[in-house]
Structure 1
């Protein structure tokens, strides 16, 4: 299957899944969820949805449980909205890239502060 078609379907699925999670899921456990990307197999039979979850550890666990329990509903809605021969089998994967980038940003700020302290040691004394 054409790679261009797969990429278009992936982007369309990302938009539709984001809209479904935001507007149609009624589960109170689902909090702040960002769909970062969708990866489909070449035959469009399986799709892995990468999501980023924000909140405390307990909120993330509850949100993850809510998302996994709603996979059937999301798949059915994708089947209605996107006209494909086969509706892909969906699975969620946790995307830690936003947490990692926030950690790197904190480290860079700390390094910059340490360098400024070394450059101006007379002000502290």
Structure 2
């Protein structure tokens, strides 16, 4: 997926990230998604696909359960996103585990000596 870099795309990514975070906290009742945080959104060049980066405070063993919960709520979240942002075409949501924080904690940079 090629990432979009236009001002419109960047603004839309921020809006999507903010609204999905609110939807997760206020409206989703799935216990698998209790500690899920949306850490970023990347749109493709024609704004039809949104990769939603997420993290969660649960153990890595529960990662598949969280992914299943997000996949199950995908349609509802997309519908609510369309109502809140008022887009003609709401992008398809694809949830991707954001391993950046985990990598920085477990693999600290090596200092030059």
* C-alpha distance in structure 2 between counterparts of 1:56 and 1:7, whole Å: 31
User: What does residue 59 of structure 1 align with?
Assistant: 62
Higher RCO (C-alpha 8 Å, min separation 6): 2
The TM-score with structure 1 as length reference comes to: 0.77
The alpha-carbon deviation at position 54 of structure 1 amounts to: 2.3
Gapped regions of structure 2 (runs ≥ 5): none
User: What does residue 73 of structure 2 align with?
Assistant: 70
**Residue aligned with 2:11, SS:** helix
Larger helix share, 1 or 2: 1
* C-alpha distance in structure 1 between counterparts of 2:70 and 2:81, whole Å: 15
> Which runs of structure 2 are paired with 1:1-125 in the superposition (5 Å)?
3-105=6-108
| Pairwise CA RMSD | 2.1
Q: Does structure 2 retain, via aligned residues, the 8 Å contact 1:31–1:63?
A: no
Stretch deviating more after TM superposition (68-77 or 45-54): 45-54
The TM-score with structure 2 as length reference comes to: 0.85
Counting matched residue pairs gives: 108
